């Protein structure tokens, strides 16, 4: 396998909800190809200057569960903005899903809130989910929202024309997140080590702001923060998740307890997702308007994200849950990522991922649609 065949995923951590968010990794030469293939499976997202943020009090309220409803968390990432469409267009109600949709300014906060049992479901990457499970969380992946196909980027100032040019430069990213991971993948592919750059750990939104202000030479960010970063004169994309296809996957994750006690509500939530995808096909203009507003960017800017995130169809979901020997299989990707997390010290022990995936809801939707 050559390095171009390697994949990745949106990794762990201190991610702020599309108002700050995502990714990481590093490795030994022998493990490089192996891990890259797996890692981007560990992946994938409101620029502070564009997005209205909630106060700490509002965030605390957002973490409080409402009886009789599914508390669903989401944050800034193009693959998760369709949830906003589902809410505003009455799709949740039509699908008989009683949902309390909770926006998180910080992606990492949404992950910790699910782990703490303060919400029932969350929108998060496969890598972050594997990492949570390795720490003792009992969660299940019930749906693939999307794969990042370019919306995670390394953006650089004028004069930096290759990854090799990053040597000695100040590069900002949210430590331990998918974009940090993507950065390390790019460095390794170019034969550089993490210590070859001056890494500046900043929350995603702040990383983009610091880059625009000229305080750092490059930044690793995801959409919509990419829009903010590219406003710096002379800035350009050095590389993106497009170079690591199938690596950064994003999901609907629920607590196992909730899935066991309220399977009908999880089913209604999955049904509403696919109904929303149908709505996007027939009402694209209105859907884009809603998603652009939630992202805090213009309609034209939001349309630029279209090619960088591939929303998964029902057929792609069914296939992803099947066993396989490459990154298109969730089981394979999770196994590889769990090994990676241990190898690089992000997890103390390899988690048991045999029960991580629950495809019954996607299958039930498919069966019902076929009848």
Write out pLDDT tens, residues 247-287.
789 999 999 999 999 999 999 999 999 999 999 999 999 99
Helix 330-343 to helix 126-134 angle (10° resolution) is 60
Please report which confidence band the pLDDT of residue 128 belongs to, taking 50, 70 and 90 as the band edges.
confident
d(CA 156, CA 232): 9
In tens, the pLDDT along 338-360 reads 876 676 566 777 888 989 999 99
Number of H helices, E strands in the chain: 16, 13
Q: Length of the chain, please?
A: 371
The reported pLDDT for the residue numbered 33 is: 31
Mark 310-347 as b/e (b = at least 16 C-beta within 10 Å).
Answer: bbbeeeebbebbeeeeebbbbbbbbbbbbbbbebbebb
d(CA 111, CA 102): 12
Sorted by where each begins, the domain ranges of the chain are 56-149+246-370
Spatial neighbors of 357 by CB under 8 A, at least 6 apart, are 140, 141, 321, 330, 331, 334
Among 90-99, 135-144, 179-188, the minimum mean pLDDT is found in 179-188
The percent of residues above 70 in pLDDT, for the chain, comes to 80
The reported pTM is 0.75
The reported pLDDT for the residue numbered 48 is: 29
The reported pLDDT for the residue numbered 2 is: 33
Question: Is the distance from CB of 147 to CB of 10 less than 8 angstroms?
Answer: no
Right CATH for 56-149+246-370 from 3.30.870.10, 2.70.98.20, 3.40.190.10, 3.60.10.10: 3.40.190.10
C-alpha dist (Å) from residue 65 to 28, 92, 118, 120, 351:
43, 17, 6, 8, 28
d(CA 365, CA 119): 24
- How high does pLDDT run on average in the chain? 82
In tens, the pLDDT along 164-179 reads 999 999 999 987 677 8
In tens, the pLDDT along 188-219 reads 889 999 899 999 999 999 999 999 999 999 99
Asked whether the predicted pLDDT for residue 1 surpasses 50, the reply is no
Asked whether the predicted pLDDT for residue 184 surpasses 50, the reply is yes
Question: Is the distance from CB of 236 to CB of 165 less than 8 angstroms?
Answer: no
The reported pLDDT for the residue numbered 68 is: 62
The reported pLDDT for the residue numbered 91 is: 98
Helix or strand or coil: residue 175?
Answer: coil
Please report which confidence band the pLDDT of residue 24 belongs to, taking 50, 70 and 90 as the band edges.
very low
């Amino acid at each position: 396998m050559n390095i171009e065949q390697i994949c990745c995923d949106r990794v762990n951590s201190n991610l702020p909800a599309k108002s700050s968010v995502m990714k990481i990794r590093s490795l030994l030469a022998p493990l490089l190809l192996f891990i890259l293939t797996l890692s981007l499976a560990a992946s994938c997202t409101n620029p502070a200057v564009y997005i209205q943020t909630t106060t700490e009090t509002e965030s605390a309220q957002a973490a409080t569960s409402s009886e009789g409803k599914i508390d669903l968390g989401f944050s800034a990432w193009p693959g998760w903005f369709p949830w906003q469409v589902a809410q505003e267009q009455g799709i949740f109600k039509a699908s008989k899903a009683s949902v309390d949709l909770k926006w998180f300014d910080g992606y990492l906060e949404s992950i910790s809130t699910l782990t703490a049992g303060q919400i029932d479901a969350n929108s998060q990457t496969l890598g972050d989910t594997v990492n949570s499970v390795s720490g003792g969380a009992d969660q299940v992946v019930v749906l693939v929202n999307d794969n990042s196909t370019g919306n995670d980027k390394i953006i650089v100032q004028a004069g930096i024309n290759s990854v090799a040019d990053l040597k000695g430069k100040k590069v900002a990213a949210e430590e331990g997140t998918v974009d940090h991971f993507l950065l390390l993948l790019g460095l390794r592919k170019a034969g550089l080590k993490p210590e070859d750059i001056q890494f500046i750990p900043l929350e995603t939104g702040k990383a983009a702001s610091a880059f625009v202000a000229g305080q750092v030479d490059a930044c690793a960010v995801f959409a919509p923060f990419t829009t903010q970063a590219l406003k710096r004169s002379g800035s350009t994309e050095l590389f993106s998740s497009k170079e690591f296809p199938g690596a950064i996957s994003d999901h609907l994750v629920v607590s196992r307890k909730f899935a066991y006690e309220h399977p009908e509500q999880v089913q209604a939530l999955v049904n509403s997702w696919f109904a929303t995808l149908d709505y996007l096909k027939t009402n694209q203009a209105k859907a884009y308007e809603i998603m652009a507003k939630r992202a805090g960017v213009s309609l034209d800017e939001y349309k630029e994200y279209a090619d960088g995130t591939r929303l998964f169809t029902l057929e792609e979901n069914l296939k992803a849950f099947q066993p396989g020997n490459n990154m298109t299989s969730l089981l394979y990707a999770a196994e590889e990522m769990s090994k990676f997390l241990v190898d690089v010290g992000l997890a103390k022990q390899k988690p048991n991922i045999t029960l991580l995936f629950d495809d019954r809801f996607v299958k039930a939707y498919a069966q019902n649609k076929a009848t």
